Amino acid sequence: MTGAVVAVVFFIGLYYVTVTHWLLNPSLGPVIITVLGVLVALGMTELTSGLSNRRSLYTALTTVAVGVIIWWPLQYYFYSGMSFLKLMMLLVIAIAVGIGIGYLWGGDDRGLSARNGALTAVATGFIIFVDRVMRAWHTYMTTPGINGRPIKTNLPNTPNLHGDFWIQTTDTLTHLALPTITLMLISLATHSRFARASMLEVLNQDYIRTARSKGLSERTVIMRHAFRNALIPMATVIAFDIAALLGGAVFTETVFGWKALGAMFQNGLSQHDPNPVMAFFVVSATVAVLANLLADLAYAALDPRIRV
């Protein structure tokens, strides 16, 4: 039955995409944004407070409703000289609105509702951002220099590309696609196996059995007791990976033509120039120290006992 339902939904979606030529001129629109927003609200509420916390749930749904309502005026705002600074300003406003909605709904735990509202606001804002980028896809595809081949294999951007903020953003994202997938696949298996092993180890601890014996819900046991402690080893591994990533990915930069620290280090070695090599080590060491500092702060945030 599950396979049949999935097959029917898939073929209906495929037929709709084919008939409407959606891939050539994609967009989400208010209906799909509403559906995705409601799903995000339910997911955020389930993870943060549980669906039984009605005020937290109403906060998330109200935040989604506000996002859908302002979708129409935002379209005019997006066309009027959009920039990265304005985009960040909208993000800050969205977080403030989500927090305000959480406090307006009130309840015994206003802070929890406010946090859920802020997370839902960020997720809804991201969906609206994706919708606007998708609306620029058709114009980007027909721009001279792209000619129907949007996914690029080299350089961080298309030379001599003219267009507004959304065209430039789409161009940057298409150039980031392949290098990002490459770097993700390198560590995906390691991180997933490490996270699984850490979670299994935590689930066998005595305090997890105690939490379940007290009658706590499975969501509370997993999210508030097991998952936070399982993230402590992951914080260490991710800190090292961030330091290595920002320190330079020589092979990825060479293949995709990105002029970054890795390529600079390789050129310094091949040309016997010590200055780029020393600069590479200084930057890499600084990033490693900062990444470990952030990991230590993450330990304290994940486990209150470490603060003591």
Average pLDDT over residues 32-53: 89
* Angle in degrees, 0-180, between the axes of helices 110-135 and 71-79, rounded to the nearest 10: 50
Dihedral sign from CA coordinates of 299, 305, 307, 308: negative
Cβ neighbours for 21, distance < 8 A, ≥ 6 positions apart: none
Task: Let me know if 265 is exposed, middle or buried by CB neighbors in 10 A (0-12, 13-18, 19+).
Answer: buried
Average pLDDT over residues 113-129: 93
Region for 155 from its dihedrals, namely left if φ exceeds 0, alpha if ψ lies in -120 to 50, beta otherwise = left
Report residue 54 CA to chain centroid gap.
Answer: 27
Average pLDDT over residues 233-237: 84
- 254-281, pLDDT tens digit by residue? 888 887 787 788 888 888 888 888 888 8
Average pLDDT over residues 232-249: 78
What's this model's pTM, rounded to 2 decimal places?
Answer: 0.82
Q: Please give the Cα distance from 267 to 255 (Å, whole number).
A: 14
Q: What is the pLDDT of residue 296?
A: 86
Average pLDDT over residues 239-244: 78
DSSP string, the chain: -HHHHHHHHHHHHHHHHHHHTTTTS---HHHHHHHHHHHHHHHHHHHHT-TT-HHHHHHHHHHHHHHHHTHHHHHHHHHTT--HHHHHHHHHHHHHHHHHHHHHH--S-HHHHHHHHHHHHHHHHHHHHHHHHHHTHHHHHTSTTTTT--S-SSSSS-TT----HHHHHHHHHHHHHHHHHHHHHHHHHHHHHHHHHHHHHHHTSHHHHHHHHTT--HHHIIIIIIHHHHHHHHHHHHHHHHHHHHT--HHHHHHHT--SHHHHHHHHHHTT-HHHHHHHHHHHHHHHHHHHHHHHHHHHHH-HHHH-
pLDDT bin (cut points 50, 70, 90) of residue 36 is very high
Count other Cβ atoms within 10 Å, centred on residue 76: 8
- 136-176, pLDDT tens digit by residue? 998 888 888 787 788 877 778 888 888 888 998 998 898 88
Identify whether the C-beta of residue 279 lies closer than 8 Å to the C-beta of residue 260.
Answer: no
Dihedral sign from CA coordinates of 252, 257, 261, 265: positive
Q: What is the pLDDT of residue 98?
A: 93
Return the residue matching tokens 């819900």: 217
Q: What is the mean pLDDT of the chain?
A: 86
Report residue 259 CA to chain centroid gap.
Answer: 25
Q: Please give the Cα distance from 185 to 297 (Å, whole number).
A: 27
More confident residue, 259 or 4: 4
Q: What is the pLDDT of residue 248?
A: 63
Domain ranges of the chain: 1-135, 153-308
Average pLDDT over residues 189-208: 87
